[in-house]
Amino acid sequence: MLASALRLMGDEPTSLHADIVNQLRDFIVEGHLPPGTRVPERELCEKFDISRTPLREALKVLAAEGLIELLPNRGARVRQFSEADIRNLFEVISGLDFVAGRMACARITDEGIAEIEALHLEMYTHYLRRELTDYFRINQSIHQAIVDAAGNPVLSSNYANLNAVVRGLRYSANLIRRDRLGDAMREHEQIMDALRRRAANELGLLMFEHMHRKCEAVCEYLREQPNEPPQLEEA
């Protein structure tokens, strides 16, 4: 009952629709459907080679995550965030990062640190090659791995759900602020160093500040976007 009450949004799907949900989420996150645009169901059914029933089930999951909005009798549209929305979300995410960093240092195994180290090296390779999509994917995995190392499933679930909401904006902000990638890599080096030393307070603060800077980058990206996004109407 407590876990249910604390959960902010629905869990990741575990049915046969999970693959469609993941593909559709990535499609939105990578900017193929800008914020505020209608979701073109017919086009997506053709793209993913599915009928409307599994597509609409996937849309319900993404609506629960906060990525899209379901419109009564009018389909769905990609959620458009205000700067206040973003700051509110990142305040919670950065707080969870701070708590998770401290707890992870006390609970993570040497093997767990080695696994995150391997992810960090993989991310660095993608950074050097300017492979942004792969860099971003591994970056997200590193943050979630540190949070999971805290050993608290309620924390892990809420962190994953909140990050799903802002994931698309974080990705888009990287496209605009490519100079931010170098700073982010240096911050990740500091995070890894603190994790290796199991410096709990230092790691928590580094993760908190890292996410705060990401919030500022996302807000800057939002301010540069047009107020009226293009609409994709159903044919």
Residue that is written with structure tokens 């949070």 in the block: 147
Identify the DSSP state of 139. H
CATH of domain 83-223: 1.20.120.530
Domain with CATH 1.20.120.530 in the chain: 83-223
> Strands 75-78 and 68-71, how do they pair?
antiparallel
Mean pLDDT of 1-17: 46
What are the tens digits of pLDDT across the range 39-64?
999 999 999 889 999 999 999 988 88
Q: Give the dihedral of Cα atoms 122, 127, 129, 131; nearest 10 deg.
A: 90
**DSSP category for residue 149:** T
CB atoms within 10 A of CB 14: 7
Does the pTM surpass 0.85? The reply is: no
Q: Considering only CA atoms, which of 113, 129, 114, 117 is closest in space to residue 181? A: 129
Q: Identify the pLDDT of residue 161.
A: 83
Average pLDDT over residues 222-235: 55
- Answer whether CATH 2.60.210.10 is correct for domain 11-78: no
Confidence of residue 169 (pLDDT cuts 50, 70, 90): confident
Span(s) in the chain for CATH 1.10.10.10:
11-78
The three-state secondary structure class of 222 is helix
Predicted local distance difference test score (pLDDT) of residue 103: 97
